[in-house]
Structure 1
């Protein structure tokens, strides 16, 4: 199974990119993982929030393939602890899907079309984080989940 993380906009903090890359490299031992960054939409000042969500939504949907299992990282999604997330991943891997896709939306969330394409929603926290930080937190949690599944000492129970 391949795991993809789709995110809107680039990360402009080199420190965050360095940390994200460290976890991406660690993940190579467990899973085929890719981070797909959709460039920021141009001229957003001339767009309403709804128009911006719609345009971002079309770009997100353009990255999806038939047969993908799509999980939105959304504040209204189900919250799991790290062990629960690892169990969720195990179920996805056991289901035989080819690609599990997690999506980080833009600053105003997702268009209705993206919500319709999604299979479920997960929340990383009840708190709100910047989109740039979510990439790091998610990538670290993905790595942590695989170490839990392999019973490796990274996660302390």
Structure 2
């Protein structure tokens, strides 16, 4: 199984980018992982929120393979602690899927088409975080999940 993280827009903050790169590197010891950045939509001030979600949704869907399992990082998603998340990852690996895709949407969330295509939703917290910080948080949690599965000391129970 491979894991892909799709995001809208690049990370501007150099410190955040450095941490994202570090955890991406660490995660690579456990699983094939890729971070794919979909460029921001141009001329958004001329678009309604719904039109912006629609355009972003089309770009997200264009990046998917038919066999991908799509998980949305969504405020209304299921909340898991780190051990539950590691079990969630294990369950997907055991299922024989080729690619697990996590998606961080744009500022207004996801289009209905993306929701319809998704196989699940996860929320990292009831709090709201910047989309750039969520990238770091999900990659760190993926790394943590694999260290839990390998009984390594990164996650202290």
Q: TM-score per shorter chain, which class?
A: over 0.9
Spell out, residue by residue over 1:33-73, the C-alpha distance to the aligned partner (whole angstroms, 9 max, x if none).
Answer: 00000000000000000000000000000000011000000
**Equivalent residue runs for 1:74-113 within 5 Å:** 74-113=74-113
Structure 2 distance, partners of 1:92, 1:25, is 22
When the two chains are superposed, the root-mean-square deviation of aligned CA atoms in Å is 0.3
TM-score where L is the length of structure 2 = 1.00
TM-score where L is the length of structure 1 = 1.00
Corresponding residue number in structure 2 for 1:57: 57
Structure 1 distance, partners of 2:16, 2:64, is 26
Structure 2 distance, partners of 1:35, 1:72, is 15
Corresponding residue number in structure 2 for 1:47: 47
Unaligned segments of structure 2, at least 5 residues: none
How many residues align structurally? 157
Unaligned segments of structure 1, at least 5 residues: none
**Equivalent residue runs for 1:22-33 within 5 Å:** 22-33=22-33
1:4 aligns with 2:4: yes
Structure 2 distance, partners of 1:69, 1:28, is 20
Deviation at 1:28, TM superposition (A): 1.1
Runs of 4+ in structure 1 displaced over 2 angstroms? none
